[in-house]
Amino acid sequence: MDILYQDTRIVVAVKPAGVVSTDEPGGMPELLRAHLHTDCIRTVHRLDAQVAGVMVFARSRVAASLLSQQIREHRFSKEYLAVLCGTPAQPADTLTDLLARDVQRRVTYVADASSPDTREARLSYDTVDSSDGLTLVRVRLHTGRTHQIRVQFASRDLPLSGDRKYGASDAPWPIALWSYRLSFAHPQTGEAMTFACPPPDTEPWTRFTLPDTL
């Protein structure tokens, strides 16, 4: 278990790909409780099971409530690295769509018109590097919808590498999406905190040059 930070109120850890972020058997809360020998670990934000990277978990009910409030009030910043199949039309842009969810097929899609079942999704990105038809982008989420990053890029014919669910061709690695930086206020002290972790030294990340200031 890769722990970046811990105290009596929060723990910041790197979730591996293939592990669920919610409190289920084998999920991150269960693993952290066993690793830290504690009774209380609560999920306050989610990552898809196939996606890896930095997450913060609460170690009390009050801490979970305060962190969740920051998320609702857009005071909790989540940034990602993603590898796209193809090249965006603009090196940097903000993408806004209406997303809907097909519960039976377990997929999210871009809707043509607003309805009671749609929700606005918005993200910003900028290009970091490109290599062999793939583009590394840095993404900042302004909303938190299910599969949002994957669907918004896939709808523009830029599926994430390794994401066969949303149109990418086969690749010998998991979905190339990495939660690399979180910023929030500590739920007890109010101190501004930022935690970052680079992606692993494996494909496809090794194809790109990451700047020191990332």
Dihedral angle over CA of 77, 143, 47, 53, nearest 10: -30
Q: Which residues of 192-211 are buried (b: 16+ CB within 10 A; e: fewer)?
A: ebebebebeeeebbeebeee
Structure tokens at 197: 């972790």
| Catalytic annotation, residues | 48
